[in-house]
Structure 1
Amino acid sequence: MLIAEVDQYIKKHNLIESGSKVMVGVSGGPDSMALLQYLLEKRAAYQLDLVAVIIEHGLRGEESEQDIEYVQHFCQKNKIKFEAQHINVIKYKEEHRLGTQEAARILRYQAFDQLMKKHQADDLALAHHADDQVETVYMRLTRGTQLDALQGIKNTRPFSTGKIIRPFLSITKSMIEEFCREKGIVPRRDLSNEKDVYTRNYFRINVLPQLKKKNPNLPETIMHMSENIADDIQYLFDQTKRVSQEVLNISENPKMVTCQINKLKKHPLALQRRLFHLILDYLYDHLPDGLNYRHEQQFFNLVNSRRASASMDLPLQLKMIKSYQSLIFRFEQEKQREYHFPLAIPGRTILPNHDVLEAEIVDRIESLPTDNRTFYLPVNIDQYPSLAIRTRQPGDRIYLAHINGRKKVKAVFIDKKIPLEKRDQWPLLVREEGEVLWVVGLVKSNLTKQAKEDHYIKLTYQSRHKF
C-alpha cells in the first residue's frame, strides 16, 4: 500500500528523475529507514545512485553512536554509500543564543549542503510525512501567520546543488510503521520524541490525536488543502512579480527598494500585501523572527497616510520611509556628520557626496541663469566676502524677493519635495555671520548690487543627483 501510494505521489509531482544521485537524510528512526528502504527497492527502476547520510547532533551520547552503527550496517548490507557527520548543537546554540531545535536545524542543513556539494547530488530526500504536515500547519496557525505558511512543508524546493524532495508527504505515520514491520525493519527509537517539552512533540502527543477523533482523514484533508493553497499562491506570486516591474525600483548598492505609492494603490489589496513581502524577501538574507503582522499593518498605514513624510522601523535596522508618493525601504546607515567648511574662491569645492561647487571671478553677468544651479554673487574686487558651505541648522531662513521676506529653509525643502533623508546633508551657501545666500540647487537669496561692487563670484553647482 505504501509503495503504490508513494509511487503515485512521486509521479504526480515529478519528484525523482531517472538516473539521479539521491542523498537520503537518515536518523535510524522508522520514518527515514522506511524512506531508505523504499528508495532501495526503486533503485533499479529509477537507476538511482543512493547516498545515505546521518547527522549526529552531539545530544544523545552513546545512543547517537549506536544510531550511526545501525544505519552504517544497513548500508553496507545493501551496498549503499554512507556518510556520517557530527555537529555541535550545544556550542552553536550558546554562541548564537538559539533554542536547541533551531540550532540543530540550522547546523543540520549546513551539513546537508556541504555533503550535497561533496557528492554533487541531484536530490536530498527527507522523510517528512502527512502527520508531520498536519503538525506543521496547526503549529503555524496557533502562531498567526501568512497564507504562504499554510502550504505547510513543501514536497520540493531548490537546495544546494539540486533540490530537496519529500516523497512521503502523502502517507501517514501508521502506514510507515506498518511498512517497517512488513520489511522486517526494527528502527532505532529516540526517547526524547515521547516528551512534549518541544512544541512539535506537544502537538503530536496532545493535539493531533484529538483532531483525528473528529476527522480520521485529517492528514489527507490537510494535504489537499496545502496543495490547493500552493496553487493559489503560485498564481498570486506570478501576478506580484508582474506588478513589481511597474511599481518597484530596486537597487543593489546600497540595497534599497523604492515603491511608487500611486501605482501600488491601483492594485488589489492582496497584491499590495504580497509586494510588501516580496520587498522583504529581497532585502533580508534571512527573514528575522521579529517580523510579524504588525509590520505589515505599518506598511499599509504608511501607504494610506495623508502625511507627506513619515517613517517606520522594521527589524535589523530596516526602515520604511514615506516621502511624498514614494515609499523607500533601506537599511539604516551610520548617520552622516554635519559639515561646515570655507568656500574656495576661486577654485573647486568638493562636497561630502562628491558633488562639486566651482567658483570663479567674473566682471559681468553674461546672461541670467535659467536654473538654480548657477548663482552670481556681487562682490568688491578688493575684498572678497568670507563664504562657507554647510548643512542646515535650526532656524535657518533665506530672504526671497517674491515674498518680500524670509522663508524657513525647512519650508523650502517641503515646497521642493526634497525627501527627509536628504535634507540634513543638503548644502547651503552662507556668509561668515550665518546668512543663507543659496539653498544650493533650489532657491537663491535676492541680492541687490551696491555701487562699490564691480565684480561677481560665479558659482556653478555640478551634481550627479536629480531633484
Structure 2
Amino acid sequence: MKDVVTDFIKKHQLLLPDTTVLVAVSGGPDSMALLHFFKSIQVEWNLRLIALSVDHQLRGEESKEDLEYVEKMCQEWDIEFIGTSVDVMGYKKNEHIGTQIAARKLRYDFFADQMKHLQADYLAFGHHGDDQAETMLMKMVRSADSRFFSGMPVKREFAGGVIIRPLLCVTKKELENYCQINGIVPRIDPSNASVDYTRNFYRIKVLPLLKSKNGNLHKTIQHLSESLEADEDFLQLEAKKMFKEVVQLEGNPITATFKIDDFVSRASALQRRVYHLILKYLYHNDLPKDLSYVHEEQLLSLLAKDKRNVQIDFPRHLKVEKAYNKLIFYFQEAEKKLPNFHEVLNVPGEVLLPNGNKLIARYQHEFTSQNENTYICLQSDIMLPLHIRTRRDGDRMSWKGLNGSKKLKDIFIDAKIPIQDRNSWPIVTDNNGDILWLVGLKKRDPIPNQKSSSYIQLYYE
C-alpha cells in the first residue's frame, strides 16, 4: 500500500520535501493508517509531522478516550500532538444547524487556526477511495446539476496552505489490512454501523453491490471525479468570461440584464453556469433553500418561447421578466400580506405548494433515513386527515422538551428566516389543528421508538 500511496502523491504533486504536514487523526483505522504512513516517510521527505485530533464530545467518555488514544500513539511514535475538545451541541443550538454541520464547522475552525499558527504547508485527511465513491453516489442521487458531480478534491487551498487526501487511491479494506500488518489497533466508532446516517446507508447497503460488479470501483470513481473537476474548472472559467461579456449589472436597485440573442448564441453548458453566476450575484451567495433545478428549467423555457413581456417568480421575491429581447432579474418589494394557502393532505397523497415544491405523504412499514425534509410519526398519535397551510395569527407550536409552547414568529426569528419567506412557509397540522411539523425547522414528535406497522412519513421536495 505504501508504494501505491507514494505514487499517487507524486502523480498529483501533493507533497514537497522539507515541509510541515498536519494530519487530522480521529483514532479510526483510516486516519491511524495515514498517520503511520507519514511517519514511515518522515525521514526520507524531511517532514515536520504534527497530529491534530478533535473531541466533539458527542459520545461522552468514548470521545475523550479516542483523543487520549491518539495522544498515546503519538508519544509511542514520537510525533507532535495537538488535541482539543469542542462543544458541538452548544454550537448547534446557538446556530440552529445540524449536528454534522456544527461538528464540521468547529473542526475546520480548529484546523485553520493550527495551520496559521504553525505556518503549516499541508493538512492531510484520511479520506479513502470508498469515501469518494460514497460521496459521488450521494451527489448523483441528490443533484440534477453536473457541476456538483465531482467528488472530494485531491488537494485544495486552505488557511494559507493546502488540504491533501493521499489515500483516495486505496480502499477501506486495504487500510484495515495496513493497520493489522503494522500492529495498529484503531478505535472504532459504533455509530459507523448504523444505517440511520445517509453515508452509512450507502457504505453498508449500496457500495458492496457495486463493488461486486467492479472490484476497482474506487479507481474508476476517482478517475471520474478528477475528469469532472478538470472539465468543470474549464467551463467555469469560460462562464466567467461570458458573464462579463453578456450580463449588465446595476447596484441600486440590484438588477442583472442581458440581451437574449447574445445569451442563447452561446453553448448551453455556459448558459446554465452563467445563470448560476447571476443568482450568486443577486442573492449575495446566500442561495435560498427552495431554489431548485425547476427554476432553471423555467428560465431556459422562457428563453426559448416567442412570447414577450412574460414574468416568472423566484424565491425571496426575485422576478425574472422577459421584455422583448431582454431578460431582466430584479427584486420586487414583498407584499405585506400574501394570500392564505390551505389544502388537505391525504395519506397516501401529495400537495403541490405555491412555491413549486411538493409535500408527499405515505404509509411506511419501516424506518428510512431521516433529515430536515422528512417527518415520521405513528398513525395512532394523530387525528387524520392532515392539513398543509401557511401561518395564521397566533400560531403556536410545542415539542418534546419544551415547557409549554412557542410562537411560530419566534421560531422563525430564532432560525433567522427572512421576513419575506415566513408567510409562505409550509405548516403541517392534524385534523385537530395541532401543528405537527414546521417544515424544515421544527417537528412536534421525535422519531417513534416503538415497533409498529402504522407509520406515516412525509417528504418535502
TM-score by length of 1: 0.66
Shift of 1:288: 4.8
Shift of 1:178: 1.0
Does the CA-based 8 Å contact 1:309-1:324 persist in structure 2?
no
CA distance in 1, matches of 2:181, 2:329: 57
Establish whether residue 310 from structure 1 lines up as the match of residue 289 from structure 2: no
Residue identity opposite 2:42 in structure 1? R
Report the equivalent of 1:135: 134
Shift of 1:333: 6.3
Shift of 1:138: 1.1
Report the equivalent of 1:28: 27
CA distance in 2, matches of 1:180, 1:255: 57
Does the CA-based 8 Å contact 1:122-1:162 persist in structure 2?
yes
Going from structure 1 to structure 2, the CA distance change for 1:186 and 1:236 (only over 3 Å counts) comes to same
Going from structure 1 to structure 2, the CA distance change for 1:135 and 1:248 (only over 3 Å counts) comes to same
Higher mean displacement: 199-208 or 15-24:
15-24
Shift of 1:41: 1.7
Does the CA-based 8 Å contact 2:139-2:149 persist in structure 1?
yes
Counterpart of 2:168 in 1: which secondary structure?
Answer: coil
Going from structure 1 to structure 2, the CA distance change for 1:265 and 1:126 (only over 3 Å counts) comes to same
Report the equivalent of 2:99: 100
Shift of 1:120: 2.4
Does the CA-based 8 Å contact 2:150-2:226 persist in structure 1?
yes
Shift of 1:189: 0.6
Going from structure 1 to structure 2, the CA distance change for 1:59 and 1:301 (only over 3 Å counts) comes to same
Report the equivalent of 2:81: 82
Residue identity opposite 1:92 in structure 2? Y
Q: 1:6-27, CA deviations, whole angstroms, 9 ceiling, x for partnerless residues?
A: 1111111111122322221110
Report the equivalent of 1:44: 43
Does the CA-based 8 Å contact 2:24-2:125 persist in structure 1?
yes
Counterpart of 2:166 in 1: which secondary structure?
Answer: coil
Going from structure 1 to structure 2, the CA distance change for 1:280 and 1:116 (only over 3 Å counts) comes to farther
Shift of 1:318: 5.1
Going from structure 1 to structure 2, the CA distance change for 1:299 and 1:109 (only over 3 Å counts) comes to farther
Q: 1:172-200, CA deviations, whole angstroms, 9 ceiling, x for partnerless residues?
A: 11111111112211111101111111000
Q: 1:53-110, CA deviations, whole angstroms, 9 ceiling, x for partnerless residues?
A: 1121110110111111111122223332222222222223333333322222233222
TM-score by length of 2: 0.66
CA distance in 1, matches of 2:148, 2:61: 37
CA distance in 1, matches of 2:105, 2:323: 39
Report the equivalent of 1:200: 199
Shift of 1:205: 1.0
Going from structure 1 to structure 2, the CA distance change for 1:4 and 1:279 (only over 3 Å counts) comes to farther
Residue identity opposite 2:104 in structure 1? R
Shift of 1:47: 2.4
Q: 1:21-66, CA deviations, whole angstroms, 9 ceiling, x for partnerless residues?
A: 2221110001011111111222223322222111211101101111
CA distance in 1, matches of 2:186, 2:286: 35
Going from structure 1 to structure 2, the CA distance change for 1:265 and 1:68 (only over 3 Å counts) comes to same
Going from structure 1 to structure 2, the CA distance change for 1:47 and 1:213 (only over 3 Å counts) comes to same
Going from structure 1 to structure 2, the CA distance change for 1:244 and 1:202 (only over 3 Å counts) comes to same
Does the CA-based 8 Å contact 1:150-1:226 persist in structure 2?
yes
Q: 1:391-440, CA deviations, whole angstroms, 9 ceiling, x for partnerless residues?
A: xxxxxxxxxxxxxxxxxxxxxxxxxxxxxxxxxxxxxxxxxxxxxxxxxx
Going from structure 1 to structure 2, the CA distance change for 1:202 and 1:52 (only over 3 Å counts) comes to same
CA distance in 2, matches of 1:44, 1:331: 60
Shift of 1:152: 1.3
Going from structure 1 to structure 2, the CA distance change for 1:268 and 1:45 (only over 3 Å counts) comes to same
Shift of 1:321: 4.7
CA distance in 2, matches of 1:227, 1:69: 37
Residue identity opposite 1:111 in structure 2? F
Report the equivalent of 1:290: 290
Aligned positions, number: 334
Going from structure 1 to structure 2, the CA distance change for 1:152 and 1:319 (only over 3 Å counts) comes to farther
CA distance in 2, matches of 1:252, 1:114: 36
Counterpart of 2:7 in 1: which secondary structure?
Answer: helix
CA distance in 1, matches of 2:256, 2:48: 44
Residue identity opposite 1:297 in structure 2? E
Going from structure 1 to structure 2, the CA distance change for 1:221 and 1:69 (only over 3 Å counts) comes to same
Report the equivalent of 1:216: 215
Report the equivalent of 2:452: none
Report the equivalent of 1:301: 301
CA distance in 2, matches of 1:271, 1:222: 25
Establish whether residue 5 from structure 1 lines up as the match of residue 4 from structure 2: yes
Shift of 1:271: 1.0
Does the CA-based 8 Å contact 1:298-1:312 persist in structure 2?
no
Shift of 1:148: 2.4
Unaligned runs of 5+ in 2: 337-461
Does the CA-based 8 Å contact 2:134-2:203 persist in structure 1?
yes
Shift of 1:207: 1.0
Residue identity opposite 1:291 in structure 2? L
Going from structure 1 to structure 2, the CA distance change for 1:184 and 1:162 (only over 3 Å counts) comes to same
Does the CA-based 8 Å contact 1:137-1:149 persist in structure 2?
no
Counterpart of 1:24 in 2: which secondary structure?
Answer: strand
Counterpart of 2:240 in 1: which secondary structure?
Answer: helix
Counterpart of 2:272 in 1: which secondary structure?
Answer: helix
Shift of 1:162: 1.9
1:235-384 matched pairs, under 5 angstroms: 235-250=234-249, 257-282=256-281, 283-285=283-285, 287-305=287-305, 306-308=307-309, 310-314=311-315, 319-329=319-329
CA distance in 1, matches of 2:51, 2:249: 42
Going from structure 1 to structure 2, the CA distance change for 1:225 and 1:119 (only over 3 Å counts) comes to same
Counterpart of 1:52 in 2: which secondary structure?
Answer: strand
Residue identity opposite 2:151 in structure 1? G
Structure with bigger gyration radius: 1
Residue identity opposite 1:118 in structure 2? H
Residue identity opposite 2:16 in structure 1? E
Unaligned runs of 5+ in 1: 337-467
Counterpart of 1:267 in 2: which secondary structure?
Answer: coil
CA distance in 2, matches of 1:328, 1:117: 44
Going from structure 1 to structure 2, the CA distance change for 1:123 and 1:223 (only over 3 Å counts) comes to same
Same amino acid, percent of matched pairs:
43
Q: 1:322-347, CA deviations, whole angstroms, 9 ceiling, x for partnerless residues?
A: 454444445666899xxxxxxxxxxx
Report the equivalent of 1:114: 113
Does the CA-based 8 Å contact 2:139-2:148 persist in structure 1?
yes
Counterpart of 2:271 in 1: which secondary structure?
Answer: helix
